[in-house]
Amino acid sequence: MLLRLQRYNITLVYKKGKELFLADTLSRAPLTTTGTETDDLQVMTLLSISDMRLEQLKKATACDSAMQQLTDVISRGWPSHINNAPPKAHPYFAFRDELVLDRGIILKGHKAIIPKSLRAEYIQILHEGHPGIEATKRRARDVVYWPSMCLDIEQSVSGCTVCNATKAHQQKEPLKSYPPPSLPWEHIGVDLFHWNGMDYLALGDSYSGWFDFASLDNTCASTVIEVLKRQFSIHGIPRIVISDNARQFDCFAFKQFAQSWGFQHTTSSPHFPQSNGLAESSVKRAKQLLEKTKRDGSDLYRNLLNIRNVPTNPQLGSPSQRLMSRRLRTTIPTPTPLLKPAIYTRVTAQLRKRQQQQKSSYDKSAKPLRPLTPGQVVRLQSPKGHDQLGIVQKHSRNPRSYIVNAQGTLYRRNRRHLLPVPEPPPQQQHSPDFYLPPQDPLPQPAIPHAPPPQPVLTRSGRISKPNPKFT
């Protein structure tokens, strides 16, 4: 202050307080001269923007024809009717009063309007850390503006590979079960399992709840078929056999077995054992029985016999009563009339009722997923996430599952494990046996009428390719 006052020659005069003017607006002496008074008001400033970003935004605004039309109309003043405004300024007409210019940048309130050439880059910045679509939109609405901003974000983020690959599991779909069988031993579920160093085959009957299992010397298809033949020789041939895609079931030998013995064979989607619940529950019960028997050192087959005689309820009777229409004789003294055959007639109705109850409780948190169409780009769910990109080839013959081509390999997957994504199709490593994209310039196979080779699925659901030596 002293330095500033150095250039003045000041004379200090003492005045009493009552001789001083009061410093209030009403008492000030009016000016004797008139002139124009200008207020230099700065309405809005972009305080929190770096110089580099400001320069970039300024340059892009100057190069953008829509932004230039907008700048002109803001500086000249808006017409009263939208039709008189420049065409590219139309999307901004509704909130024209909020628009201001600041250092070559157009602001809507406190938000910068981003010209077209920078929008993709801004979306990328707003999506840093991969918040979801809605979160990215909320972040954007808070700081920037351009017409159709939310739509642009939606389109861009829905194609983000990182977000798609790490997406949570899709919702479960309403329960779809086979209609309850009307006869004993009509629907059979079969599955292999491993317990205590041994391989077993388990099977269960949907109508009666009867289950059985047998140890296997090996897991060859022929061994499995042999065990099933023995079972079918006792109880008859079922109408439907449901299994997973294990190689023992999804092979030529099993197909032939099904054909010659006259039953329908249905396989569940890989990684989706819920669709083979019947076999799964037989495996669970077999393992439990083996474990309990091992622990108390009792007789496995007497235990199994006892379990088969346990009534489910008075109306349904026991598995043996439903399958064989009789109680089985055990070491418990049983009056002869109780061992005589008696038919249970209300089993199907009871099964239907139970199925409906299960369905309504399961469906409370389930919602159907949109069906997929051939050519659609999807991500395949694995325990790690939705890492693998593929193209839907066709609907599988089993409900809710699809054949998908991922890097030249065909997979069968349940709809729940396929996430549709708006991403560009992956580069396919063609396996001409199975997949030819429509635009593929490769020549068609020489024999036009030869049927395409049937894909063979491995236990994991991968389709194994035939060895050329044996074809």
Half-sphere exposure of 11 (CA within 13 A, CB side): 1
Find where tokens 């009563």 sit: 321
Beta carbon of residue 132, minimum distance to Zn ion (angstroms, whole number): 8
Q: Which is nearer to Zn ion, 124 or 264 (CB)?
A: 124
Beta carbon of residue 127, minimum distance to Zn ion (angstroms, whole number): 6
Q: Which is nearer to Zn ion, 189 or 420 (CB)?
A: 420
Phi, psi at residue 285, to the nearest 5°? Answer: -70, -40
**Binding pattern to Zn ion, positions 129-148, x when CB under 5 A?**
-x------------------
Print the SS3 string covering 332-384.
Answer: CCCCHHHHCCCCCCCHHHHHHHHHHHHHHHHHCCCCCCCCCCCCCEEEEEECC
Q: Site residues for Zn ion, window 71-130 (CB under 5 A)?
A: 130
Q: Which is nearer to Zn ion, 424 or 438 (CB)?
A: 424
The residue count for the chain: 471
Beta carbon of residue 39, minimum distance to Zn ion (angstroms, whole number): 47
User: Looking at 162, 300, 310, 339, which residue binds Zn ion (CB under 5 A)?
Assistant: 162
Q: Which is nearer to Zn ion, 163 or 203 (CB)?
A: 163
Beta carbon of residue 121, minimum distance to Zn ion (angstroms, whole number): 15
Q: Site residues for Zn ion, window 341-360 (CB under 5 A)?
A: none
Q: Which is nearer to Zn ion, 157 or 251 (CB)?
A: 157
How many residues of this chain interact with Zn ion, rule: CB under 5 A?
4
Beta carbon of residue 154, minimum distance to Zn ion (angstroms, whole number): 12
Beta carbon of residue 157, minimum distance to Zn ion (angstroms, whole number): 6
**Is residue 419 part of the contact set for Zn ion (CB under 5 A)?**
no
Q: Site residues for Zn ion, window 42-71 (CB under 5 A)?
A: none
Stretch touching Zn ion by CB under 5 A, among 89-97, 161-169, 171-179, 355-363: 161-169
Q: Which is nearer to Zn ion, 388 or 396 (CB)?
A: 388
**Is residue 160 part of the contact set for Zn ion (CB under 5 A)?**
yes
196 φψ region: left (φ > 0), alpha (ψ -120 to 50), beta (else): left
How far apart CA 199 and CA 197 sit, in angstroms, is: 7
Beta carbon of residue 144, minimum distance to Zn ion (angstroms, whole number): 18
Q: Which is nearer to Zn ion, 130 or 352 (CB)?
A: 130
**Is residue 163 part of the contact set for Zn ion (CB under 5 A)?**
yes
Q: Which is nearer to Zn ion, 45 or 161 (CB)?
A: 161
Beta carbon of residue 163, minimum distance to Zn ion (angstroms, whole number): 3
**Binding pattern to Zn ion, positions 235-254, x when CB under 5 A?**
--------------------
Beta carbon of residue 406, minimum distance to Zn ion (angstroms, whole number): 21
User: Would you tell me which residues interact with Zn ion (CB under 5 A)?
Assistant: 130, 160, 162-163
